[in-house]
């Protein structure tokens, strides 16, 4: 069976995922595209022989759509995901699942009422080979009990529209998700402090920021978010355990020796850094839809958890650095909990 995917939001990442579904992943085809910019929807749909539809509701209800991909702006995600769940169709939603914890919970409740998981959230780092190797080592006891995690998330620059809160909501949210998964532990508090700001930023922005998280199991995490670091897109993660440590590898790159120097290139954006992770993410999602089984990737609950934890980080930032307790509901049985 070929999975017929309808795409809501034909912007930057929507177009990249359409290319991926069309040229990289087998067993999928894009049959419908919608965007509030109808011209853009028509142009992108024409490129892949899909139909442009006027609204997300039309697309979800379309008989030529088996599964839905939501790549529109964050504040619109919840509505499209809720409509897809109501229609009983599998739905992949780029992060965030929703921009408020309340809206995330509405999705969780809708899925619980449906009785099985239909939603996967686009936290692609869980599909990155390096993070997967780290998890294997930690799970196998290769470093003993984890104690500390040191992370850095650096972007070369960000546009003027990027705000101080987005350091948590848009950027650190990837670490928040991947650390919960990596450690199989829940984040219970967040604190955000700010060192001297870089001069190479828009004046309104607090950059860099240092975030501290604590897990229920007592692991402490420090995360540097520096979104105007200039030199490249650089993701670092090192977990220290009782018996050793495990470090995320840098992406493979040739070493160049020339002019008396030895070096390797640094990635310049998330698209290149995580290209293989995105491909794997979509292969595994399409395989689950094809087999009519629940997706194994990040769930609606993970989307909720990430939003509640980023909310705590934002409250800490706004308060000038208070330690903020994460106020998370008990995890329902559908997502491996007991509630």
Taking the least distance from each CB to ligand ISE, the nearer of 35 and 170 is 170
Tokens encoding 123: 């936290």
Tokens encoding 282: 């979509």
Q: DSSP of 233-285, one letter per residue?
A: -EEEEEEEESS-EEEPPPPP---EEETTEEE-PPP-SHHHHTHHHHHHHHHHH
- State the nearest-atom distance from the C-beta of 282 to ligand ISE, in Å: 16
Q: Which candidate, 212, 208, 248, 244, places its Cα nearest to that of 228?
A: 208
For 6, list phi and psi in degrees, rounded to 5: -105, 135
* Contact call for residue 73 and ligand NAD (CB under 6 A): yes
* Contact call for residue 237 and ligand NAD (CB under 6 A): no
- State the nearest-atom distance from the C-beta of 165 to ligand ISE, in Å: 12
Torsion of CA 201, 202, 203, 204, to 10 degrees: -110
* Contact call for residue 280 and ligand NAD (CB under 6 A): no
Taking the least distance from each CB to ligand NAD, the nearer of 214 and 270 is 270
Taking the least distance from each CB to ligand NAD, the nearer of 160 and 242 is 160
Give the C-alpha separation, 315 to 202, whole Å. 22
**In the Cβ-directed half-sphere of 243, how many Cα atoms lie within 13 Å?**
8
* Per-residue x/- track, 118-137, ligand NAD (CB under 6 A): ----x-x-------------
Taking the least distance from each CB to ligand ISE, the nearer of 103 and 207 is 207
* Contact call for residue 74 and ligand NAD (CB under 6 A): yes
Taking the least distance from each CB to ligand ISE, the nearer of 26 and 230 is 230
* Contact call for residue 37 and ligand NAD (CB under 6 A): yes
Given the rule CB under 6 A, which residues bind ligand ISE? 155, 170-171, 174, 227, 270
* Contact call for residue 76 and ligand NAD (CB under 6 A): yes
Strand partners, 246: 239
* Contact call for residue 191 and ligand NAD (CB under 6 A): no
Give the C-alpha separation, 187 to 184, whole Å. 10
CB burial of 279-295 (b: ≥16 within 10 Å; e: otherwise) equals ebbbbbbbbbbbeeeeb
Out of ligand ISE, ligand NAD, none, what residue 122 binds, judged by CB under 5 to 8 A for its kind, is: ligand NAD
- State the nearest-atom distance from the C-beta of 15 to ligand NAD, in Å: 8
Note the residues at the interface with ligand NAD (CB under 6 A).
Answer: 8-14, 34-37, 40, 56, 71-74, 76, 94-95, 122, 124, 270
């Amino acid at each position: 069976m070929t999975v017929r995917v309808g795409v809501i939001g034909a912007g930057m990442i929507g177009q990249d995922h359409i290319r991926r579904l069309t040229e990289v992943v087998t067993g999928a085809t894009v049959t419908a595209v919608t965007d509030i910019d109808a011209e853009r929807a028509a142009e992108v749909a024409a490129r892949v022989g899909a139909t442009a539809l006027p609204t997300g509701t039309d697309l979800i209800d379309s008989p030529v759509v088996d599964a839905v991909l939501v790549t529109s702006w964050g504040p619109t995600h919840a509505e499209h995901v809720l409509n897809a769940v109501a229609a009983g169709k599998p739905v992949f939603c780029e992060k965030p699942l929703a921009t408020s914890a309340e809206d995330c919970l509405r999705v969780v409740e809708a899925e619980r009422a449906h009785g099985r998981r239909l939603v996967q959230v686009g936290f692609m780092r869980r599909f990155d080979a390096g993070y997967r190797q780290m998890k294997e080592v930690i799970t196998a006891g290769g470093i003993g009990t984890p104690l500390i995690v040191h992370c850095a998330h650096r972007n070369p620059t960000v546009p003027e529209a990027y705000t101080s809160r987005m350091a948590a909501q848009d950027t650190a949210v990837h670490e928040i998700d991947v650390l919960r998964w990596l450690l199989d532990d829940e984040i219970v508090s967040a604190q955000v402090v700010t060192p001297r700001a870089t001069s190479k930023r828009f004046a309104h922005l607090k950059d860099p920021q240092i975030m501290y998280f604590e897990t229920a199991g007592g692991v402490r995490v420090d995360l540097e978010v520096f979104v105007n670091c200039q030199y490249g897109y650089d993701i670092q993660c090192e977990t220290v355990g009782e018996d050793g440590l495990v470090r995320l590898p840098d992406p493979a790159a040739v070493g160049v020796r020339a002019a008396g120097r030895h070096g390797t290139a640094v990635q310049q954006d998330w698209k290149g850094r995580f290209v293989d992770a995105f491909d794997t993410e979509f292969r595994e999602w399409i395989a689950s839809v094809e087999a009519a089984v629940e997706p194994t990737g990040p769930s609606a609950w993970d989307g909720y958890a990430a939003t509640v934890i980023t909310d705590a980080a934002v409250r800490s930032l706004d308060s000038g650095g208070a330690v903020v307790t994460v106020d998370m509901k008990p995890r329902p049985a559908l997502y491996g909990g007991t509630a």
